[in-house]
Amino acid sequence: MSKTIPKHCDVLIIGGGPAGSSAATLLAKAGIDSVLLEKTRFPRPQVGESLIPHFWKYTDQLGVSQILENEGFVTKAGGITVWEGDIHRISFAEFGFKRPALHVERDIFDDILLRHAQTSGAAVFENVSAKTIKFEKTQVVVEYLDKRDTESSHKSTIKCRYIIDASGYNTVIAQQNHARHHVNAQRQFLSLWGYFNDSRYFGADAKSYSVDQVKTVKPVTFVSSFKEGWVWHIPLRESTSVGLVLNTDKVKGLDYKQREAFFLGVCSQVPYLNQLIDNRNYMQRSLCARPDYSYYVAPVCDDQYYCIGDAGGFVDPIFSHGVLNAFYTSALAVAAVKESLNHPAGRKRYAQICANRIRQFYSFSRALSLGDFHINGTEFELIGSFMRSVPRTELELMLAASHITHRDSNFRKLMDAAKLTGKHLEVTDKARLITELVV
């Protein structure tokens, strides 16, 4: 017999990915009556396996770091990029990070976070999909489809005071409100990714190792540009994730088999990648695709709702900060909801403050990832105030990442605009130019 979904709650969360589960944990810890609806049953697959080291501050806040450490995910040493012919290597240790970056199987990582939300006291319902959302004067009414009983799925409603949309790429509220916008009509990216057995990988010493050494010699995330986009290579415990990012029109009209052939064709042509992986070890039918993922949502919050994580916007995975963004925006939204519950008269103001902070982050992310400015939704002043709040080590790492992917002129302009140049951030000694990789 399934647990009954309540008819009312103070806060309803849509989606159990890192944004939704972390919001549920924080709300449960604060003793706030909240319900999370997740349309799938976890563990469910998800892209985004590379985590940069500053994510730990959020998992500490959630109280889940020890469980993540115990899981034994692959710890990574840094990154190696081959970008338009230049080879660079960065090592996180050189930036002063004390805790490791990780390569995680996202089905497992996200499941740990969702179970942690439950053990923290959150009411989580899987296989329940939020459908329409009606904003009334003093409450929000959410219609959902309950598919927990496979024989007879049924619709029902739940009423709440505030709603947090953490539905990821589905952007439930933005779709309903027609509030999802393309970042730029020319920049419609698509990603194709798949998994390989027995891949070799690069260590921080720029030499390659066989996959069975991944627990003893830390890997790096390997990234390379190619004519039409860029590729990632992320060694996990049992397999290696390889993905392409390119303009959507490059694979328009291709069916699944043709996409697989295209994907494997690119993998066999990109230098170094083609030596690390062998197409015969491609895990059949593991290819996945995510189209048109560069978008932003405006308005991202209102006095009754908060769109967080990918439900509030996403640009480009080049800097591996999607999960970080999910944690960050979730913490912002929970703070605003807590204040609103305590002082309802100020709820519009709390929502505005939260929207402003979220826009600062997305604006920074867009300006950095896309390599040019004045594109829709990018706001210089907001970026500046966000950058001034970021700890130095994190800024240095971002500068290094943008330097090795030839986007640092952006970063430097942003630093000037944010009046951060006096801080003498310089990373050329940490983003090391090297001459070769040994496979």
Ligand X SMILES: Cc1cc2nc3c(=O)[nH]c(=O)nc-3n(C[C@H](O)[C@H](O)[C@H](O)COP(=O)(O)OP(=O)(O)OC[C@H]3O[C@@H](n4cnc5c(N)ncnc54)[C@H](O)[C@@H]3O)c2cc1C
Quick one: which H or E segment has residue 191? strand 189-196
Chain residues 247-306 in contact with ligand X, contact rule CB under 6 A: 290, 293
CB of 410 to ligand X, least distance (A): 20
Alpha carbon distances (Å) from 348 to 340, 353, 370: 8, 9, 32
What span, in angstroms and rounded, lies between the C-alpha atoms of 311 and 293? 11
DSSP code per residue over 314-380: E--GGG--HHHHHHHHHHHHHHHHHHHHH-GGGHHHHHHHHHHHHHHHHHHHHHHHHS-SS-TT--H
194 binds ligand X (CB under 6 A): no
> Do residues 288 and 202 touch, judged by C-beta distance below 8 A?
no
62 binds ligand X (CB under 6 A): no
Chain residues 118-147 in contact with ligand X, contact rule CB under 6 A: 129-130
Pairing of strands 295-297, 208-210: unpaired
Our CB check for ligand X shows the closer of 362 and 411 to be: 362
Chain residues 326-385 in contact with ligand X, contact rule CB under 6 A: 326
Where does this chain touch ligand X (CB under 6 A) — which range of 147-155, 168-176, 209-217, 257-265?
168-176
Our CB check for ligand X shows the closer of 46 and 360 to be: 46
CB of 139 to ligand X, least distance (A): 19
321 binds ligand X (CB under 6 A): yes
Where does this chain touch ligand X (CB under 6 A) — which range of 161-169, 255-263, 390-398, 406-414?
161-169
Q: By rule CB under 6 A, what count of residues binds ligand X? A: 42
Our CB check for ligand X shows the closer of 251 and 415 to be: 251
46 binds ligand X (CB under 6 A): yes
Phi then psi for residue 198, to 5 deg, are 55, 35
37 binds ligand X (CB under 6 A): yes
Where does this chain touch ligand X (CB under 6 A) — which range of 11-19, 199-207, 335-343, 358-366?
11-19
Asked if omega into 43 is within 30° of 0 (cis), the reply is yes
Pick one of 26, 27, 32, 49: the residue that binds ligand X (CB under 6 A). 49
Where does this chain touch ligand X (CB under 6 A) — which range of 42-50, 73-81, 256-264, 295-303?
42-50
13 binds ligand X (CB under 6 A): no
Where does this chain touch ligand X (CB under 6 A) — which range of 18-26, 70-78, 271-279, 388-396?
18-26
Our CB check for ligand X shows the closer of 290 and 413 to be: 290
DSSP 183: S
323 binds ligand X (CB under 6 A): yes
17 binds ligand X (CB under 6 A): yes
b/e per residue 198-234 (b: at least 16 CB within 10 A): ebbbbbbebebbebeebeebbbbbbbbbbeebbbbbb
68 binds ligand X (CB under 6 A): no
Where does this chain touch ligand X (CB under 6 A) — which range of 44-52, 209-217, 263-271, 428-436?
44-52
Chain residues 390-409 in contact with ligand X, contact rule CB under 6 A: none
168 binds ligand X (CB under 6 A): yes
CB of 278 to ligand X, least distance (A): 23
CA proximity to 410, closest of 383, 377, 376, 382 = 383
Pick one of 11, 20, 102, 405: the residue that binds ligand X (CB under 6 A). 20
Alpha carbon distances (Å) from 206 to 165, 225, 342, 413, 439: 42, 17, 54, 31, 8
Q: Quick one: CA dihedral 362, 364, 370, 372, positive or negative?
A: positive
DSSP code per residue over 4-49: PPPSEEEEEEE--SHHHHHHHHHHHHTT--EEEEESS-SS---S--
- Cα 436–chain centre separation: 31
CA proximity to 68, closest of 116, 125, 139 = 116
Our CB check for ligand X shows the closer of 128 and 420 to be: 128
Query: Which residues in this chain contact ligand X in the complex, by CB under 6 A?
Result: 14-20, 37-40, 44, 46-51, 129-130, 166-170, 172, 191, 243, 290, 293, 309-311, 314, 317, 320-326
